[in-house]
Chain A
Amino acid sequence: MELLVASAIGLLSAAGVYLLLRARTFPVVLGLALLSYAVNLFVFVSGGIRVGRPPIVGAAAGMTDPLPQALVLTAIVIGFATTAFLVVLALRLRRETGSDHVDAGGDAP
C-alpha cells in the first residue's frame, strides 16, 4: 500500500511540475492544482496510512493521527483561494496584454 501512495504522490508531482513549466497561464494553474494535491497527500500521509480509523474520539478501533489532517484541511481551502487568485490574475493579464503567455506582462511598467 505504501508503494501505491508514494508512487501516486510522485506521479502527481511530476505532472504538476511539468505543467508548471509550460508557457501559458492555464496549464500553470492546472499544474499548481496537481502539485498541491501531491503536497496535501504527502503531508496527510505523514500521519500514517490507516483504514477505517477516523480521528473521532470514541471509536473502538482507535484513531489515526489528527494533526496532519487539520493542517491539510486549511491547506485545501487556502489552495482554493490561491487558485482563484491565480485564475483571476491570468484573466487580468490577458485583458491587459491580449496574451495569456506567462511573460506577457513582464515588460509592462
Chain B
Amino acid sequence: MTDGRLLALLALLPFAGACLPALLHRRSRTTIAWASAAAPAAALAILVFLGRRVFAGEVVEASRPWIAALGLDVAFRLDGLSMLFAGLILVIGLLVILYARYYLAARDPFGRFHALLLVFMGAMTGVALSDNLLLTVVFWETTSLASCLLIGYWSDRADARAGARMALVVTGLGGLALLAGAILVAQIAGTFTISELNGMGDAIRAHPHYDIALVLILLGAFTKSAQWPFHFWLPNAMAAPTPVSAYLHSATMVKAGIFLLARLYPALAGSDTWFWIVGGTGLATFVFGAWAAVFRHDLKSLLAYSTISHLGLITLLLGLSSPLAAVAAVFHLINHATFKASLFMAAGIVDHETGTRDLRRLGGLWKQMPVTGLLALTAAAAMAGVPFLNGFLSKEMLFAETLALPDVGFARWIVPIVATAAGMFGVAYSTRFVHDVFFNGPPRTYDRTPHEPPRWMRIPVELLVLGCVAVGIAPALTIGPLLRVASGAVLGGPVPQFDLALWHGFNAPLAMSLVAFALGIALYFRMQRQGRLHAAQPGAISGHRVFDVIERSVVRFAGWSADRSTAAGFQRQVVILVLVALAAGVAPFAVGIPDRLVVAYAPMTPVAIAGWLVLAVATALVVATHRQRFTALILTGAAGLMVAATFAFFSAPDLALTQLVVEAATVLLMLLALPHLPASTPLESSSVRRLRDAAIAVGVGVAMAGAAWWMLTRGGASISAEQAALSVPAGGGANVVNVILVDFRGFDTYGEITVLVIAALGIVAMLGRTSAGRRVDRAGPAAASDPSAEPAGQGASTGTARSPQVSAHSPSSVPPDDDRDPEMLTLLIRGFAPVALLVAGWLFLRGHQLPGGGFVAGLVTAVVLSLLPLTSGRSAAGDNPRTDLHRTAAAGLAVAGATGLGAWAFGRPFMTSAHGHVDLPLVGDVEWASAALFDLGVFLVVVGTVMLMLDGLGRLRTERN
C-alpha cells in the first residue's frame, strides 16, 4: 500500500472503528474497551510509520475529488502540524478509552459511549489531516455534533441536556461563520486546498474582502476554542462524563480552533487586523479565564475556566505573529493537553472516590490517596508553570515574547503586565486545586470511604504526568524534533532558532514568573485564611446570561406564534393556508398578464361536453350531499372516475389506469372506515360561516380555472423533448411515462415509494393502538355510552359479539354471516380474482413498452387480494398483524434500492440504468432487466403498502363484529 493510501486509511479508521463498540454493546465493558481501542491503536501505528517521512522533511498527501463542482476534495496531508495534532488526538484518545473503562458505572450504556467517542476521534483526526478547507468544515461540524451527544451522554440529567444544547448552538453558529469565511477565502484565492492557500498569504491579505473573511473564520475558531466572549459553553459542558471533559474539552476539540489558526497561519496571519483581534481576544481570555477560575467551587468548573485561560494564552501567542511566538504556541498546545487531561482524570478519580467535586466539601485527601495526590500535585504544578515541568518552559517563552513586542502603542507595556497578572491567577487556582482537595485540614467524611482508584484507572494519569516531567526536564531530547517539524509546518517556512534549555540565566521572563508565583500564592492563602474564597459567589457571567435570554426569547416567540396559529383551531389554519396560497397564486397576475393567446383552441366535442356535465353534476352533488356521508362518498368516487376518463380522453392511458384502480381502492378504504364514524355530519356552521367559506371556495375555484385557462392558451416549449427522444435508445422502453418513472427519474420514484412505505407504517402504528384501545373499551362503559358509534347498516350484527379469537382458532366452523357476506359478491370476486391477477401480471410485463407498469399492476393486485378475505368477513390472517406484508413492502424497497446500487458495480452513478453500460452480447436483454427489476420493486412496495392499509382497516371491521 502506498503512503497516500495509508494516510487515507488512517483518517477513516476511527470512523470504521466506531462500528465495533456499537455492535458489541451487549458484551462486557472490558471487551468493548478493547474493541474500541483497536482502531485508534492501528491508526497510531500508521501515523508512527508515516511519521518517519515527516521527520525527514517530507509531506504525505492523498487526494481524490468528492464534489468537484464545489471544489470539495477528500484531501489529506500529513505534515508536522497535522502529525502532532493527530498524534495528540490518538494518544490521549487511547488513554481516555482505558480511563473510561473504570470511570463509567455499570448501568451506563458503554457501547454508545465508545462509539460516539470514536466518531469524535475520527472527526478530529479529519480536522487535523484535511487539506481542503471545505472538508475541514465537514469534519469540524461532525466534532460539534459528537461533542453535543457526548455532553448529553447522561441524557436523563437536565444540566447535561442544557449544556449539550448550548455547546451545539454556540459551536454550530461558529461553524456556520467558518463555512462562510472558508468560502470567501476560497473565492479570493480560487482554491479550497489549504496547502495552496498557505502559499498565497500576501495576495489574500491584500484583498479587500480579507477582513470580512478573517473575522468569519475567527468567529468559528473562537467559538470552538471557547474564547471570550464565547467561552460560556465550556463550563456548562462539564456536565459530560469526566473522560469526555478530559478528552474533548481540554485536550482536543477546544484546540481545534487554535489548530485552525495555526493551520491557516501563513495564509491569514501577519496583518494588523489579525494582531489586534487575535492577540486582543487571546489576552482578554487569558486573564479573564484565570481570574474566574480562582472563584469556582466545582473542581471541573475550575479546570474548565483554567482551560479557557490557557486557550487564550495560545491564541495570544498566535496573535503576536512572530515566528518564535508561533513555536511557543505549538509547544504550549502540547503541554496544556498533557497536564490538563491528567488533571481532569485526577478530578474524575476524586469525584469517583468521594462522590463530590465541591472544593468547599473536599479536603485532606492526601492521607487517603497519596499517589493520586502526588500526580495531581505534579500536573497542577505544570499548569502553574513550576520549573522542571513542561508548563514552565512554554510560559517562559510566552513572557519573553510579550516583552519582545514591536512598538505598537500601549500594547507594548500592557501586554506583559496583563500576562503576568494572568500568570498570578494561574498560580492561585493551581494552588487552590491542590490545597483545597488534598490538604486544607484533616480528612473529611464523605458518603463513601475514599481510597486509591483501581491500578489501571491511574495508569493514564501516570503516563501523562510522566510526559509533563520528561518534557520539563529534557525538552530538547523529548519534544524538540516534533516541535521543530510542527512549527515549521505552522510557519510555512524556516523555523527560527529556539533554545529549549531549562536555564536561560536570570532574565526578565524569569522575574515575571517569580512575581506571578509570589503574588499568586499570597493571593490564594490570604483569601483562603479570611474565608472569602469559599464564601465567594460566582458573579453573573455575561455571555451565559445573554445566551439564556436569547434562547428563552426564541423559544417564547416560537411558542407564541404556534399558539396564535393553532389556538384558533384547524379550520382557521386551513383558511389562512388557503388564503395565503390564493394570494401567492394571484399576485403575479396582478402585475399584468404578459402575452396574448398564442395557440389555437381545441374543438369541443359532444363526448367532452357530456363528460364535463357528469363531472360537474357529481362534484356539485358531493358538496350538496356531503352531510350524508355514504352518498357523498359514492359521488366522490364518480367524480374520480370522470377524472380517470379525462386522463384517458387526453392521451394518458397510464394515468387513466392508475386513477381507475386508485379510485376503487380509495372507495373501498373509505367504506371500511365509514362504520367507525358517524353516518352523517351535523349542521354546525352558521350560515354566515358557510357563506364565507363558499366565497373563499369560489375565489380559489375562479383562480384555479383562470390559471388553467391561461396556461392552456399560452403554449410554450416542452422540456421533455429530450426524454421522449431518448426513451427507446437510452431507456429501452417505448412507454415514455414508464421509462421516466423507472429510469430517468428513478431516484424520485424511489423517494416516492419510500413515502408510501412510511405512510403504511404510520397507519399500521395508529391502527395497532386503536385496536388495543378497542379491546379495553369493549369491557368498559365507554363503548356503551357512545351511541353515535353505531355504524350505518350494521344494526343487525351488533348484538352478536363474536369473539375474534374463536374465529381465528376455527375459521371453518364460523357460521355464515348473511349480513356482511353477500353471496353474489363473494362468488363474483372469487371467480374474478384469478383473471384480475392475470391482468395485473400482464400490465406489469408490458409496462415498459405499453401502458401499464409497477404502480398500476401493484394496485390491481393489492385490491384483488384485499377483496378476497374481506368478502368472508375476516382479514386474511385472522387477528395477527400481517408481517408478510411488511416484508413485501420492505423487499420492494430493497429490490428497487439494490437495482439502483447495482449501477455502482459497473462504476456508474446510483440509479444509472443498465442500458448501454453493460457490454454483453445480449445488450437488449440486460437493459430491459435493469429497468424491470426496479419496476418490480415498485410493484412489491405498492402491493405491500396498499394491502397493509386495507388489511388494517379490514381487521378493525372484524374486531367490531
Contact = CB atoms under 8 A, between A and B. Distances in A.
- Answer yes or no: do A and B interact: yes
B454 interface: no
A1 B603 contact: yes
Given A67-B718, A69-B652, A21 B786 contact: no
B859 interface: yes
Nearest to B643: A37
Interface residues of B, number: 117
Nearest to A2: B712
A87 to B, nearest CB: 5
Contact of A6 (B700, B706, B946): B706
A87 B702 CA distance: 29
A38 B640 CA distance: 10
B769 to A, nearest CB: 7
A97 to B, nearest CB: 11
Contacts of B855: 73-74, 77
A60 interface: no
Interface string B634-667: 0010011001001101111111001100100110
A81 B705 contact: no
Contacts of B594: none
B735 to A, nearest CB: 6
Contact of B736 (A57, A82, A95): A57
Interface in B437-455: none
A17 to B, nearest CB: 4
B709 A3 contact: yes
Chain A interface, >50% SS class: helix
B608, B640, B651, B953 interface centre (most CB from chain A within 10 Å)? B651
B632 interface: yes
A65 B736 CA distance: 9
Contacts of A80: 662, 665-666, 946
Interface in B755-770: 755-756, 759-760, 762-763, 766-767, 769-770
B215 interface: no
B629 interface: yes
Interface in B583-640: 601-605, 608-609, 612, 615-616, 619-620, 622-623, 626-627, 629, 632-633, 636, 639-640
A76, A78, A102 interface centre (most CB from chain B within 10 Å)? A76
B476 interface: no
B756 A55 contact: no
B673 A14 contact: no
B717 to A, nearest CB: 10
B810 interface: no
A92 B701 contact: no
B875 to A, nearest CB: 15
Interface stretch (B153-161, B386-394, B676-684, B907-915): B676-684
B720 A15 contact: no
B850 interface: yes
A54 B738 CA distance: 12
Given A14-B700, A23-B571, A88-B767, A54 B620 contact: no
A53 B648 CA distance: 10
B737 interface: yes
Contact of A73 (B650, B737, B756): B737
B709 A33 contact: no
A40 to B, nearest CB: 7
A10 B705 contact: yes
Nearest to A89: B766
Interface in B549-584: 566, 569-571, 574-575, 578
B752 A74 contact: yes
A9 B737 contact: no
B737 A26 contact: no
Contacts of A11: 615-616, 619-620, 701, 705
Chain B interface, >50% SS class: helix
Nearest to B700: A17
A41 B711 CA distance: 12
A66 B563 CA distance: 45
A82 B741 CA distance: 20
B655 A18 contact: no
Contact of B651 (A53, A96, A100): A53
Given A58-B734, A84-B763, A106-B570, A17 B697 contact: yes
A21 B574 contact: yes
Contact of A55 (B737, B942, B952): B737
A25 B650 CA distance: 33
Contact of A12 (B619, B659, B673, B707): B619
Contacts of B571: 21-23, 102-103
A49 B599 CA distance: 12
Contact count band on A: 35 or more
Given A2-B601, A26-B681, A88-B766, A78 B622 contact: no
Contacts of A92: 766-767, 769-770
A91 B737 contact: no
A87 B724 contact: no
B616 A106 contact: no
B643 A65 contact: no
A102 B678 contact: no
A109 to B, nearest CB: 14
A95 to B, nearest CB: 5
Interface string B447-482: 000000000000000000000000000000000000
Nearest to A58: B734
Given A13-B700, A42-B704, A88-B763, A64 B566 contact: no
Contact of B604 (A4, A26, A94, A100): A4
A26 B773 CA distance: 22
Contacts of A34: 619, 622, 636, 639
B644 to A, nearest CB: 10
Interface string B724-743: 10011000001111001100
B701 A106 contact: no
Contacts of B773: 95-96
Nearest to B684: A23
A23 B685 contact: yes
Contacts of B566: 106
A38 B704 contact: yes
Given A57-B736, A76-B662, A94-B676, A44 B619 contact: no
A13 B766 contact: no
A10 B612 CA distance: 12
A10 B855 CA distance: 28
A55 B735 contact: yes
B756 A49 contact: no
B195 interface: no
A34 B615 CA distance: 11
A10 B701 contact: yes
Contacts of A96: 773
Contacts of B684: 23-24
A44 B636 contact: no
B669 interface: yes
Contacts of B612: 4, 7-8
B380 to A, nearest CB: 51
Given A22-B681, A34-B619, A66-B737, 5 more contacts: A3-B709, A54-B851, A55-B735, A69-B652, A73-B654
12 contacts: A11-B616, A17-B696, A34-B636, A37-B640, A54-B651, A70-B737, A70-B745, A73-B855, A74-B749, A81-B945, A95-B676, A98-B788
Closest 4 CB pairs of A and B: A10-B705, A14-B701, A67-B720, A66-B736
Interface of A: 1-27, 29-30, 33-34, 37-38, 40-42, 44-58, 63-67, 69-70, 72-74, 76-85, 87-92, 94-96, 98, 100, 102-103, 106
Interface of B: 566, 569-571, 574-575, 578, 601-605, 608-609, 612, 615-616, 619-620, 622-623, 626-627, 629, 632-633, 636, 639-640, 643, 646-647, 649-655, 658-659, 662, 665-666, 669-670, 673, 676-678, 681-682, 684-685, 693-694, 696-698, 700-709, 711-713, 715, 718-720, 723-724, 727-728, 734-737, 740-741, 745, 748-749, 752, 755-756, 759-760, 762-763, 766-767, 769-770, 773-774, 782, 786, 788, 849-851, 855, 859, 942, 945-946, 949, 952-953, 956
